[in-house]
Chains A and B, each alone.
Chain A
Amino acid sequence: MDVVEILFTASFWVAAIRIASPLIFATMGELICERAGVLNLGIEGIMTAGAFAGWFTVYAGGDLWTGVAVAALAGAMFGLLHATLTVPLGLSQHVVGIGVTLLATSLTYFTYRLALPEVTSPPKIDAFQPLPIPGLSKIPVIGEALFAQTPLTYLAFVTVALVVWLLYRTPLGLAIRAAGENPSAVEAQGISVTAIRIGAVMAGSALMAIGGAFLTMSAFNSFFFGMINGRGWICIALVVFGSWRPGKALLGAILFAAFDAYQVRLQQITGGVVPYQIFLMMPYALSILALILVARRATYPKALMIPYQKGER
């Protein structure tokens, strides 16, 4: 198979969209947090917690969608912790975020060990299965990539639409965007900046957790250590890449996933001539390049990372 030909195969695009799905959830989550003015570096740990919570619910006999809900709830709880420390208390968002990541990751591994002490190879669950949409899934290449995926992938795309609607079409969205730009504008209109920011961080964290749950419930079908593997950090970069706009961030996620799917296939055809680590590195190197090209002129939310204290001058 030729280096260029890969790009026209359906399996490549199917893989790209599947790889993109968890990134889309988590990127939307991070974007909501940052639009309200809070950088949530807890993302990596929250995804880990979500991955475990969703998987374990199903492993323990729960329904798949209950698993998704439990993951979201777990995410929201870590979000509440993050928000409590960064919003009313105004602590450093960097330090709290890294703390939440470490706490959520360790707590998850600890719980996993407690729940399954004897396990050597990670047990599998009956995960989400592809659900082809009649008619649409028969379109060549695109049909298979977009309309023969699991329900969680569809949910990822619906989430993007909902986030766009929320931010740009609803009264609440106005308040969220204003809180990230100029919190005193929100306060002057009689709205609590604290409430808006806590809410945004909790909702955003819930989405991050669902992104993590996608990996255990719609991709690998089991939970293992180190499975998030930096995906959360990628989502932080994707928000910047997307200039804090959901549509552009979605494109970024798909682009990154496409690089990732591409490098796997390149490894196969070059067959050992080039060290495979070069290919593994490729998506990240290209991401940095894309960031340099795209995000330099980005207009970021002006109050991002600035704690708001009522009445301070």
Chain B
Amino acid sequence: MTIGQKRRGRSLPLHVVLVAVGAVMGVPLLYAVFSGFKSTDQLSRNPIGLPDPWVSSNYTGILGSGDFWRMLGNSTLIAVGTTVLVVAVSALAAFSFARFAFRGREALFTLFTMGLMFPFAVAVLPLFLLLRSMDLLDNPLGVILPQAAFGLPMTIVILRGFFREIPAELEEAATLDGCGPFGFFWRILLPMARPALGTVSVLAVVGSWNNFLLPLLVFSQPDWWTIPVGVQQFQGQYSSDTARVFAYLVLAMVPALAFYSVAERQLVGGLTAGATKG
């Protein structure tokens, strides 16, 4: 018996386990996709089988209405705004933490890392009161600013770790060439840190994209609803039209899954880096 045969024989049970777990993970998603291609009537008669006939009106109806696209636009705008803000502000702070020795640095850094403990759901009540008094309700800044603020700790921790690894000789060389601290940061550090910036940006986008509670509270008007808020409202509105809700869920999943398939490496790298350095 060769090693190859032995390995194949041993790996068969492993494959059985993987297929079983894979089915549990994948079937809910496929079920939603197929259910979206049925009418609600057909769904109750034929809950498990393939659609017969295939009905595409659920999907086309949603894609044909402006609501879905508007929410997609809102989610995109808010995600981009949050990401640009949190990455810019964190990069400055992380640069100072990584490359300067100054009095109060450790205390300040501890303050930011304690922010990892401030959960959104817990702070949301006083935050809402604050946004109300600042007149930021029904304003995208009312979601962008707090999301960026709550994203700071994780982003700073990751970027600081990365900035520290850039050799000090580079900074000395830049200083000799007449570069000030900001010039070094802007012209040398940031271009070198592009992979790390990509990682934290991807994390910020995903966090913003999936945030539910804050946009739910801040936006009382449908004009600014983001996808998670819209999905919940849609389900409330069409709860009896099950097939249509499934179609809506599937369409709402597509952007996130597409983004994941493009940015998988940054995302996984960022999550593991954030967890081990945080």
Chains A and B are bound partners: no
Chain B residues proximal to chain A, CB less than 8 Å:
none
